[in-house]
Amino acid sequence: MASDQDASSSNSSNSNSTPRTCKYEIFLSFRGEDTRKGFTDHLYHALISRGFRVFRDDEELERGEVISKELLQAIEDSHFAIVVLSKNYASSSWCLNELQHILSSRDNSCQQAFPIFYDVNPSDVRNQKGSFEEAFVGHQMLQRDNEVLKNWRESLTKIANLSGWDCKDWPEAKLIEMVVEVLWTKLRPKLPPYCEDLIGIENKLEQLEPLLEIGLTNVRFIGIWGLPGVGKTTIARALFDKYRSQFEIKCFLHNVRETSERDGEVHLQSKLLSHLKIRNMEIKDTFDGKEIIQNRFKDKKVLLILDDVSHTSHLENLANKPSWFGAGSRVIITTRDSGLLRRVHEVHAYKVQIMNPHESFQLFCSKVFKSGEPQRDLLHMSKTVCDYAKGLPLALSVLGSFLCGRSSLGEWEDALDMLQKNQHNDILSALKLSFDVLADTEQAIFLDIACFFNGWSKTVIAHIFKSCGFNAKIGIATLQEKSLLKDYDDCLVMHDLLAQMGKRIVVDKSPNDVGNRSRLWSKEDIDEVMENNLGTKEIQGMVSSTSCEASWDPEAFSTFRNLRLLIIVTCDFSLPYGLECLPHSLKILYWTKYPLDTFPPGARFYKLVDLKMRHSKLKKLWNKSLCSKNLKFLDLSYSKNLIETPDLCELPNLERLELEGCEDIVDLHASIGQHTKLCVLNLKGCKKLKNWCLKKLEMTALKEFVLCGCIQVKRLPEFGESMKNLEMLDAGETNLVKLPESLGLLTSLETLKLRGCKTLVCLPDSIHKLTRLVFVDIAGCSRFARLPENLNEMKALEEIDASETEITEVPSSIGELNKVKKLSFQGCKRLTSNSWSLIHPLNLMFWRHAIHKGLALPDCIFNLKSLKELNLSYCGIDDGSVPNSFSGLSSLEKLNLSGNLFKKLHTGCISNLLKLRVLLLNSCSKLGSLPQLGPNVYMADARECVSLEPMSDELLSHFFTSIEQGERLIVGDSLDMTIPGSEIPSWFKNQNDLFLNHHGEAWMMIDMPPCGEEVLGIGLCVVIDDKFFSTEPNKRPPFGLLNCWLFFATIPHPPYSQPESYARVCVYQEDMKSSHLWIMFWKQEEELSRCLQLSEYSHIPLKFSAGPYWKKDSKDWKMDRKDWKIKCGWRVIHKGDFENWDSSMRQSLLPAAGQHSGQDVRTPMPLNFKSRSISVRCPTPNLRMIPGKF
């Protein structure tokens, strides 16, 4: 490293602190014209290939004086900044401002900065001599502020004084290698902080990590096996937390064996798929789940931990084959059964050994003696306990925690005596010592978790225990302190051995009499007790998950005199003999799909706190004698036969009433409106509800009031002055005509949902009093005509959705909503410029020509500096009313102008939106050409824009030029586009006809050039014939998807490894009426070079796979004919292959670039394809470009 003054001391101090969680690991600062296509590009790709997350400002932006907030945030969100100082670096005010912010971030956080002196003298940078002095002369001629110039000079001096690299000292390739190695040393994945206290963990991980081969693109299965309690889960958790940031999807499925036994394997499949964050994904059975998993994860880099696998079915249904997961995925399996691992395809097994005597002693002492060293008189006894634990970390931790705080010799002798009395030397008996010293409440919590709730949500468990009268917070914390319980991802998890011990404690108290046990959890035991009426006062809890007819004795519960907890979760459950009673002692009663229409006549709920009977067959609740004064939570959702609500006067402590989906309720009991403790009232989907039986609500504690979907509700009661705690009101999809003026009394209201109220005309004038209101949803209120005039008084408003309304006038006060982030007027076609002119009367002259021609936007809307999403689709905007620019919306990220009537968008209308990421222009039937796009747009969708001009050769030329320049792709990227056509262009030299087999698959081999030739990538062109989507009327086409897989195999012959690249085209019958060309390009220099170096390599496999678009059609899908043909052409592309493109065409498309006063000035391209999806579907032309890393 070269530096006249080493400033690494401050950096090193920073590096020793706790690592920050950053979006990027490295930020590259450089002068584009000096190093973009050379040194910086090589450095960037070297860092990317090592697995770093790198931010490179590689967009050819039209730069101004001020750096965007996004770029500043990227600097702050990076661990390291690499500053490439070149001759023209200081001539750019952008670069200097960037450098100033880097150094400011370095001073204020743990970030480190390193300079690289590229063809400049460090002394020139430090003292601003040579080209750096000339740059400042230019800045002075521009009359820059003296303070700004001073700060820039100080920044250059400061960066030059830091440790860095001077390019003249090493060859460029060697320098890049050194930089990458230094950063890897500093940034390589580290163990999470909690691992510092785990004795021996580093040694075990060092042995395991070679099996993982993190960084390679193959899919690997790793098996961790050993004795129970030896630390398999702890090791897997440490690996998971260490490497999770390097994977797209990361999932830790804890306790697979027990979860499978309790909830079934479909539940586990759902839990795995939940990491995709797809709502309402339904899995019918394990076969359906397997299909979804392999389809959804096959192109994603996944880190999956399957903890405590005990049966091959667990693997078959969750991770059957490597091909289920994308390149680089890792599946880690923990199990006690090494034989199970031998049945797994290509698993790499690791046996966890017990702790050696030294490690055992260390772990034990760390739990018992805070100083880490035992007292002399306890040294021998400590070693005896360690010997007894037999090197199992769990036993050492539990026994150590048990003895912690017992300092007298007598106490230790008593403990050793108890251990020695265990004649069978059973480790469970040793663990029981920790249980025996727990307080009664803590023992009850321990046994409940061991028998019922292991792995449940911490929030749910705490709620249950609190309802049972336990101090849940203290009890759970005590168990954690004693190493009896752990908190993983907000779930309380007890080790298998401890759970087994807890169940054995219950069984051992009454080994031969099931009815005398304190807890019942197995179906067999429950049925024995309930069918034979064997229950006793000893039973405290019963949790059952069953789906069958139960021949329970109707009087069975009569002897359960101390049952506090009854949870029955069923799918299809019936009681043919009925039920005569329920225990009076119950505090928790959860019974999904309760099969009877009334409560048993002998039921008395004196102590009940929480009652949940969702999907029950109840018709009515209870009489007064049944009511519990202690009831706080009542949930009868989806009890579709329920016809009445309870008298809440008999439930004075009720806090939550859930009646969602109770479709037969007609009236609400009048007592509801006066209840003083009810916080949540949910009446969603009560379709027959229409009578309130009350005129005013005086519910002082109410925070959430939901009645959406109550389609017969035409009015709301008045709100009393005591309703000041209400935060959310959802009255969507009702038949409200108006809202009461008393709405203004709800001064804490934050969310008002009125979506789909088709008879609602307006909001009450009093709404301006709701100064805390954040979200207003009136979408679909088709008769809603106006917004309140005084919107500006609602200072907290962040989102207004007025889609599909009849709003004709927008108040001028909308321009004063400084916090609004989302605004939608979709489908408001009657809007005219009259309404908008109210906002800025002085600007009326500019908009008068647009009157009565649809939505016209005045300057006022550009005051909304916080606006991120604006939806003006289907608003009748034409050429007369389309704005000249949206540039004032400096925070705008998504703009929807679909379905409008303009023929073009003005130059600069979109390109000045520097934060815009999504532009939607669907169904703009008159649009003739695409607008210039902003620098950060990654998706522009213009489907069904039937008037678009045909795609020119120039545009195609630009597509390939962008590939040749290599600026818009990183290794592994793919670009593809779809255009009309039926013949393969001659540029693709190799052309073949392929026939799909009965599975819809076809293979071909791409012949590779001799080793040593410089290859850039592979180009491919496929004809999507109209046969693919022609079909009979009202019948789905035979194909909906065509996939293309490119294999860079680790072996040159079948069976091939996971494909390294993958692309997919969706065929839409309604959009594509003729044949199209699907053109793809893969830039895979690194992989191709590796393949060419293998002496056996002469070809690369390519696979096509066609199938239905709809997943539900694919289960038994197969080809119905054998003559489906795919025309395809391909070409291995060398770096000189683009020379045959007309250079004048390419030049006409290059951005006009220039320098003015040392700044980068660039004109945006009409289409800039950097990491974006340009989707234009129409009969002619049709362009769809979808770059992305597969």
The residues that are catalytic are 98
- DSSP code string of 561-580: TT--EEEEEESS-B-TT---
Contact 939, 918 (CB under 8 A): yes
What span, in angstroms and rounded, lies between the C-alpha atoms of 912 and 907? 10
Contact 631, 652 (CB under 8 A): no
What's the gap between Cα 988 and its chain centre?
40
DSSP E strand stretches across 345-454: 347-351
Structure tokens, 212: 């993982």
Q: Which residues of 1035-1074 are buried (b: 16+ CB within 10 A; e: fewer)?
A: eebbbbbbbbbbbbbeeeeeebbbbbbbbebebebebbee
Q: Is residue 423 helix, strand or coil?
A: coil
What span, in angstroms and rounded, lies between the C-alpha atoms of 361 and 372? 10
Q: Residue 208 phi/psi, 5° resolution?
A: -85, -35
Contact 869, 915 (CB under 8 A): no
Cα–Cα distance list, 496 to 452, 687, 742 (Å): 13, 47, 57
What span, in angstroms and rounded, lies between the C-alpha atoms of 242 and 220? 17
What span, in angstroms and rounded, lies between the C-alpha atoms of 480 and 487? 8
Euclidean distance between the first and the last CA atom of the chain, given in angstroms as a whole number: 37
What span, in angstroms and rounded, lies between the C-alpha atoms of 383 and 532? 51
Within 8 A by CB and 6+ apart from 206, the residues are none
Contact 1173, 939 (CB under 8 A): yes
The closest of 524, 554, 556, 552 to 539, measured between CA atoms, is 556
What span, in angstroms and rounded, lies between the C-alpha atoms of 897 and 825? 11
DSSP E strand stretches across 904-989: 918-920, 939-941, 973-980
Q: Residue 1070 phi/psi, 5° resolution?
A: -75, -20
Residue 1001: CB atoms within 10 Å:
16
Within 8 A by CB and 6+ apart from 911, the residues are 62, 931, 932, 933, 934, 935, 1164
**In what side-by-side order are the strands of the sheet with 1061-1066?**
1001-1007, 1099-1107, 1041-1046, 1061-1066
Q: Residue 336 phi/psi, 5° resolution?
A: -90, -15
Q: How many CA atoms lie within 13 A of 511 on its CB side?
A: 2
Amino acid at residue number 883: P
Range list of H helices, 738-812: none
What span, in angstroms and rounded, lies between the C-alpha atoms of 921 and 392? 64
DSSP E strand stretches across 414-514: 486-488, 491-493
What span, in angstroms and rounded, lies between the C-alpha atoms of 476 and 442? 8
What span, in angstroms and rounded, lies between the C-alpha atoms of 656 and 704? 10
Amino acid at residue number 834: N
The contacts found for 867-870 with CB under 8 angstroms, 24 or more apart, are: 867/820, 867/821, 867/822, 867/823, 867/891, 867/892, 868/821, 868/822, 868/892, 868/893, 868/894, 869/821, 869/822, 869/823, 869/824, 869/893, 869/894, 869/895, 870/823, 870/824, 870/894, 870/895, 870/896
Please name every residue paired with 730 in a beta bridge, in sequence order, or none if there are none.
706, 753
